Amino acid sequence: MSWDMVFLLSNYWAFASWIALAFLPRGPKILAAILYAGVFLLCLAYTVMIVGFLTGGIDPGGPGGGDFTTLKGVMMLFDSPGGATLGWTHYLAFDLFTGLWIARDADQKGFSRAAQFPFLFLTLMVGPVGLLAWLITRERRARAQARAKA
């Protein structure tokens, strides 16, 4: 299977999970499906790729090499189709997990689905920006709920 195909499959799989998160009812079965069929499988794909790269069992399709200690080293890690796909799958898995947490937290705090949508969209597109916006927005309601329980 080509790296282009692995990249596309990862994207489509993550996008289907995001669609489910944004638009399907959030019962326990749907949330579990997003966690295990979405996040888990992306994490599994990432793990297979990284172990394959580190053991030499999977060819990244480029120069390889690199490390996490310098900018140049990180750039070398992404300087192959396999390395870029590996990095992208990492982003997809963590952004989806973050979106799932935001959705659950927002549901618990009584935010409507319409109010949640911009945060989920931001998390899908620019992960940390969506998370930051959610953390800022949720704070007032989280404090109010904590005071009500006390």
Q: What is the pLDDT of residues 66-120, one digit of tens each?
A: 777 899 988 888 888 999 999 999 999 999 999 999 999 999 999 999 999 999 9
In the chain, the percentage of residues whose pLDDT exceeds 90 is: 75
Residue 22, token pair as written in the block: 């944004």
More confident of the two residues 127 and 150: 127
In angstroms, the CA 62 to CA 144 distance is 53
- Tell me how many domains the chain contains: 1
Domain span at residue 8 reads: 3-149
Residue 50 CB-half CA count within 13 A: 12
Residues near 41 by Cβ (< 8 Å), separated by ≥ 6? 13
Which residue's structure tokens are 């489509």?
A: 12
Separation between Cα atoms, residue 92 and residue 131, nearest integer Å: 14
Q: How many CA atoms lie within 13 A of 7 on its CB side?
A: 12
What length is written for the chain? 150
Instruction: Tell me the pLDDT band of 146, cut-offs 50, 70 and 90.
Output: confident
